[in-house]
Amino acid sequence: MKKDLHERTFNFALQIVELCKKLEAKSNVSKTLSNQLLLSATSIGINIEEGQSAQSKADYISKYSIACQSAKETKYWLRLLKAAGLTDKEDIAFLEQENYELVAILITMIKNAKDNE
């Protein structure tokens, strides 16, 4: 599961990078929102990576909680891009679903870690 999650978050980040490349070619608003999306989406994976080498259970929970918060922020930016008509709904649909699933996985992992304390 954890290896799959690493791969999944890495691939998600790659897809976000591709979307942001498209957005960069558009208006200044698109560029600004693209930067916000890129920061939040790539934060998910790096916090999971850091959580794997956590020094304690509390550190692990903290890193995964930050990853979950970043995923929720990513959800916001994706919604805003779609609602503002700055990207094709087809480009966003898969990313929204993948992000939703990542949040669900992270919430479960955090809950399990807390229950095992």
Query: Would you give the DSSP letter of residue 81?
Result: H
| pLDDT of 46 above 90 | yes
d(CA 16, CA 11): 9
d(CA 36, CA 77): 7
The model's pLDDT over 48-78, given as tens digits with 9 standing for 90+, comes to 999 999 999 999 999 999 999 999 999 999 9
The model's pLDDT over 16-33, given as tens digits with 9 standing for 90+, comes to 999 999 998 888 899 999
- Position 91 scores a pLDDT of 79
List Cβ neighbours of 110 (8 Å cut-off, separation of 6 or more). 61, 64, 65, 68
| Domain 2-115 falls under CATH 1.20.1440.60 | yes
- Position 1 scores a pLDDT of 54
| pLDDT of 92 above 60 | yes
